[in-house]
Structure 1
Amino acid sequence: MEDMSDDLAGEWAETQLSPLAEPAERDDESTLRPRDLHEFVGQPRVREQLQLVLQGATRRGAPPDHVLLSGPPGLGKTSLAMIIAAELGRPIRITSGPALERAGDLAAMLSNLAEGEVMFIDEIHRIARPAEEMLYLAMEDFRVDVVVGKGPGATSIPLEIAPFTLVGATTRSGTLTGPLRDRFGFTAHMEFYTPEELEQVLRRSARILGIELRDDGAAEIASRSRGTPRIANRLLRRVRDYAEVRADGRVDLAVAQAALAVYDVDDLGLDRLDRAVLSALVRSFGGGPVGVATLAVAVGEEPTTVEEVCEPYLVRAGMLARTPRGRVATALAWSHLGLTAPADAPGWTAPTLFDE
């Protein structure tokens, strides 16, 4: 069975460039996670600031301030939360905002924390309001009020909890309520990675996974990874599959290019769905403006998929513009599809004599 199925490759191409974690790759991600701040690649300012926060708290012999990590998915917020616990030498309790629907759920977790323990809440902006209000008191005074009974006979019993450090992660810091945001002593915003930083990530991952990765192969994968380590590691695993099945197992420039062509990832980091969105916008709607719901119907996807998976990178790459009237294709999008942009396309410049 020397050849991979084209259907399988097409299926992978639809998900390869999503920054969201797939359930099947959780084990791979845990293997590749850095164990301390020295192993963590990229985010130099965040690493420096966080190191000062942790070292200062360690010297004082007290838990550090609560930490909020914000930024797009796939940049290492969960890894940093685990590193914080490892640097402090404390256990970590992991949960997510959507899982904390009731205040009682949160009270049970908080009451079981040991002194100095780290509690990590992923997607903290999605925590239910009753649980969030309980969290205010726990973060500030290390106390929760448990309500016993119902109606006029209900009583509030204060429950002391051990001093702990809360690490919250959010992809939408703007949706956090002011009172919750203000209770974090340190806030770090994660930035997208440069291609050079992603090459470091890829070389480290290749060593762990036992992949022979040449520098030119690492550079090629990094350039198509949308500045996101999660995507870079995912593409590395898929290129490894190609190298083991159709080549000699070594990942160099030629193998990386051939593999990414099979998985439909082009040289700008766009996949099938990205190009379908741009093509529909340009060819079906004349470049826009058009609403995201209409655009999603045109490509046969859910509006949330288009809005959360495709749009952020297309906007960042300068191919899509969000306007009050809808989405608009820029001149760069027309050019990427091999078409001539109209004069009213954002970013259009009149051709010069030399261009002609």
Structure 2
Amino acid sequence: MSKGYASEVREGDSGDFESSRVLDARGEADEQQVEAALRPKRLADFPGQTRVRDQLDLVLQAAKGRGAAPDHILLSGPPGLGKTTLAMIVAAELERPIRVTSGPAIQHAGDLAAVLSSLDEGEVLFLDEIHRMARAAEEMLYLAMEDFRVDVIVGKGAGATAIPLELPPFTVVGATTRSGLLPAPLRDRFGFTGHLDFYAPEDLALILARSAGLLKVDADAAAIEVIAGRSRGTPRIANRLLRRVRDWAQVHGSGRVDVAATQAALELFDVDELGLDRLDRAVLDALCRRYAGGPVGIATLAVAVGEESDTVETVAEPYLVRQGFIIRTPRGRAASPLAWSHLGLTAPAGTGIPPAQQTLPLDDSGPGRFA
């Protein structure tokens, strides 16, 4: 077992893996190590998210000036936008160690008590996917965040005794892709909440230029712009596409990432000029060709493309809604004129969605969220 994979288990997974995941553990660890190496280490090096970055810098600088632990921090937003990176930066800026775990790994109050009792003063506790933590652990976390103590229950039944355990001051950094699932008592205990939105292409170009330098990839500025425009506003996707284009240039090209190599590589990996991948186009194709533009329920749509409903709803739909390809209505999902046009199809007469049936995409991944 590789070092990176073992640390991932210790930091947040339950250790219950399928054998197929164990077989390719070294490959996953290598990808994780590459992604970790590309992460900026300081706020000054963190591109994009200017508002959140400036707000977080103020919170951290003020806490350092007082010589105290900063307020607990909640970071929300779609996957791949830098929540984990910002948590690492918080610890680096405070010059304190960081403990990493995740909500799914904490299924019992005892699991959380073991983590909390081992924290040092000023340490940063990063809870990824905090909305998936067990309810009993959430209730223990309320007290720990507010009063820096936990009550350990000893015994059972009428003879049970609560022993208070004092904790040193620490900072919780919680990350969630679905902030609406957080209970209000937990959400209210965070002194700072930052919502990360999708990146502009020019910010992604800066990220890609920096990543190319770290990976020692010889890349044209024009090729960087092409990759940035197809990265769905997400740095994680941008860095992944850069590595795949680098691979194509190494195997089939001259080794230099230019526009021709970029376009050929992205065509090979089914990423079109608007950033839509195979799943996105399959959803649009099923919606337009099989169901005449809808509306159709998400479960039916998922069966049509051979995926789980959660996959379609959390992976494909947010970007398609944001880009105006899909309209969410009370009766289901419907294709917009842009979807028909993108597939090279002509929308049949009478398939438009009346304005009264349209709904705005004000979910966690939409542009209508406030920081």
How big is the shift at 1:321?
1.2
8 Å CA contact 1:280–1:295 kept in 2: the answer is: yes
Can you give the 5+ residue segments of structure 1 that lack an aligned partner in the other structure? 1-21, 349-356
> For the residues of structure 2 that align with 1:23 and 1:285, how far apart are their CA atoms?
42
Task: Supply the distance in 1 between the matched residues of 2:149 and 2:350 (Cα, whole angstroms).
Answer: 59
Cα distance change on mapping 1:24 and 1:126 into 2, 3 Å: farther
1:56 to 31, 55, 62: 62
2:266 corresponds, among 257, 260, 263, to 260
Q: 1:79 aligns with which of 82, 85, 109?
A: 85
Give the C-alpha shift of residue 307 in structure 1.
1.1
Structure 2 SS opposite 1:183? coil
What is the alpha-carbon distance in structure 2 between the residues aligned to residue 342 and residue 171 of structure 1?
37
1:174 equivalent to 2:180? Answer yes
Question: Would the aligned equivalents of 2:292 and 2:351 in 1 still touch at CA under 8 Å?
Answer: no
Structure 2 unaligned spans of 5+:
1-27, 355-371
Residue 103, structure 1, aligned to residue 97, structure 2: no
Residue equivalent to 2:215:
209
TM norm structure 1: 0.90
> Partner residue of 2:41?
35
2:202 to 178, 185, 196: 196
Shift of 1:252: 1.4
Structure 2 partner of 1:16: none
1:342 Cα offset (Å): 3.2
The correspondence of residues 185-334 of structure 1 with structure 2, limited to 5 A, is: 185-334=191-340
**Pair 1:135-2:141 in alignment:** yes
SS at match of 1:275: helix
Q: Kindly state the Cα deviation for residue 107 of structure 1 after the two structures are TM-superposed.
A: 0.6
Deviation at 1:78, TM superposition (A): 0.2
Q: Assess if the C-alpha contact under 8 Å between 1:239 and 1:255 holds in 2.
A: yes
Higher alpha-carbon deviation: 226-235 or 287-296: 287-296
CA drift of 1:25 comes to 2.4
Distance in 1, Cα, partners of 2:31 & 2:301: 30
Indicate how the Cα distance of structure 1 residues 285 and 155 shifts in structure 2: closer, same or farther if over 3 A, else same. same
Aligned position for 1:115: 121
Distance 2:90 2:139 in 1: 25
1:145 paired residue among 113, 130, 151:
151
1:126 aligned onto 2:106? no
Q: Does 1:89 align with 2:61?
A: no
In structure 2, relative to structure 1, the CA distance for the partners of 1:346 and 1:157 (3 Å cut) is farther
Q: In the TM superposition, what whole-angstrom CA distance separates every residue of 1:262-293 from its partner, at most 9, and x where no partner exists? A: 11110011111111111111000111111111
Counterpart Cα distance in 2 of 1:270 and 1:317: 10
The one-letter amino acid paired with 2:293 is: G
Letter in 1 for 2:272: D
* Distance apart, 1:65 and its partner CA: 0.3
Aligned counterparts of 2:210 and 2:61: Cα–Cα separation in 1: 26
Q: Which residue is equivalent to 2:51?
A: 45
How far residue 347 of structure 1 moved from its aligned partner, in angstroms, is: 7.7
**Any idea what SS the aligned residue of 2:70 has?**
coil
Number of equivalenced pairs: 327
Sequence identity percentage: 69
Code of the aligned partner of 1:298: A
| Residues 23 and 243 (structure 1), Cα distance of their counterparts in 2 relative to 1, 3 Å cut | same
Moved more, 267-276 or 181-190: 267-276
CA-CA distance at 1:159 after TM superposition: 0.4
Match of 1:304, SS state, is helix
Residues in 2 aligned to 1:76 and 1:273: alpha-carbon distance in whole angstroms: 24
Supply the AA of the counterpart residue of 2:148: F
Distance 1:85 1:215, change over 3 A: same
DSSP-derived class of the 1:251 partner? coil
TM-score relative to the length of structure 2? 0.86
Does the aligned pair in 2 maintain the 1:77–1:169 contact within 8 Å? yes
Instruction: Write the deviation string for residues 272-322 of structure 1: whole angstroms up to 9, x where unpaired.
Output: 111111111100011111111111111111111111111111111100111
Alpha-carbon RMSD across the aligned residues, in angstroms, is: 1.3
Once the two structures are TM-superposed, the CA of residue 24 in structure 1 deviates from its matched residue by 6.0
Report the CA distance shift for 1:315/1:161 in structure 2 as closer, same or farther (over 3 A).
same
Structure showing greater relative contact order (alpha-carbon pairs closer than 8 Å, 6 or more residues apart): 1
Classify the secondary structure of the residue corresponding to 2:232.
Answer: coil
Letter in 1 for 2:333: R
1:329-340 aligned within 5 A: 329-340=335-346
Q: Give 1:76 shift.
A: 0.2
